[in-house]
């Protein structure tokens, strides 16, 4: 049975045409029934399934993982108040710390987006990751070379520094990813998957594929 009805994506399509508080307030009950409540149920089930493989997720609550639909528009030129997708991050820290490796997903009428890894490492965390790559290059490559990983994500993404600290410069030729300042993977699937009964299975397939990578990063930053 599908977790979401077709009105999940239809709501966001309608919101895109009427992205204002008045329209949202008039359609709040629809939002609650078609988007918010089923998304909370989905995230709760996803946490339960993931926790069977990773006990660190066992204490996480859906409310700690789900991002608000309200946008932060304080420093944005786009003043429309609402996001056009529902999103969450399942990691031991939930949405409070985006540097902790986990799985981020966002569902909406554009795509089903699934990401993992470490998107916003702090300076000390980045140093730790690079040092770990330098010391354990084979282990790093093993974590990102599995067939499921390559099939679903192809490769590690992220911006790279043009100038590196001296201790890492000699290692760039051997492992170019040491220059990265972000270490994440991502996949975008068709939006119609939202109302497909196979959505949870697809999410779990992607989580299992990114697991070795997430575990390697978490160990490097520990």
pLDDT digits (tens, 9 = 90+) for 135-145: 999 999 999 99
- What pLDDT sits at residue 76? 77
Q: What domains are defined for the chain?
A: 7-221 (3.30.930)
- Which of 7, 2, 79 is CA-nearest to residue 36? 7
* CA angle in degrees (0–180, nearest 5) for 171-212-160: 35
CB 129 within 8 A of CB 183: yes
Tens-digit pLDDT profile for residues 162-174: 999 999 998 999 9
Pair of tokens at residue 111: 């795509």
Pair of tokens at residue 162: 């043009």
- First-to-last alpha carbon distance for the chain, in angstroms, is 40
Q: CA-to-CA distance for 101 and 128, rounded, in angstroms?
A: 14
- What pLDDT sits at residue 120? 86
What is the pTM assigned to this prediction? 0.94
Tens-digit pLDDT profile for residues 99-126: 899 999 999 999 999 999 998 899 999 9
CA 128 from centre of chain: 21
Whole-number average pLDDT of the chain: 96
Q: Which helix (H) or strand (E) holds 118?
A: strand 112-118
- pLDDT band at 157; cut points 50, 70, 90: very high
> Is 75 a residue whose pLDDT tops 90?
no
Tens-digit pLDDT profile for residues 184-208: 999 999 999 999 999 999 999 999 9
Phi-psi region of 75 (alpha: psi -120 to 50; beta: other; left: phi over 0): alpha
């Amino acid at each position: 049975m599908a977790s979401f009805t077709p009105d999940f994506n239809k709501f966001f399509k309608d919101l895109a045409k009427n992205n204002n508080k008045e329209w949202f307030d008039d359609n709040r009950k629809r939002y609650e029934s078609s988007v918010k409540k089923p998304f909370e149920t989905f995230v709760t089930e996803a946490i339960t399934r993931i926790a069977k493989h990773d006990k660190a997720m066992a204490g996480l609550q859906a409310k700690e993982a789900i991002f608000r639909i309200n946008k932060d528009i304080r420093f944005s030129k786009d003043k429309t108040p609402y996001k056009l997708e529902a999103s969450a991050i399942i990691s031991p820290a939930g949405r409070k710390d985006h540097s902790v490796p986990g799985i981020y997903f966002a569902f909406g009428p554009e795509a089903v987006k699934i990401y993992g890894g470490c998107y916003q490492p702090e300076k000390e965390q980045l140093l730790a990751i690079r040092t770990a790559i330098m010391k354990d290059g084979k282990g790093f490559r093993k974590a990102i070379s599995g067939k499921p990983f390559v099939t679903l994500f192809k490769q590690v993404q992220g911006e790279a520094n043009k100038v590196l600290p001296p201790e890492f410069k000699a290692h760039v030729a051997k492992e170019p990813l040491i220059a990265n300042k972000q270490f994440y993977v991502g996949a975008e699937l068709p939006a119609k998957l939202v109302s497909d009964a196979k959505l949870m299975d697809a999410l779990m397939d992607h989580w299992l594929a990114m697991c070795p990578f997430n575990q390697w990063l978490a160990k490097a930053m520990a």
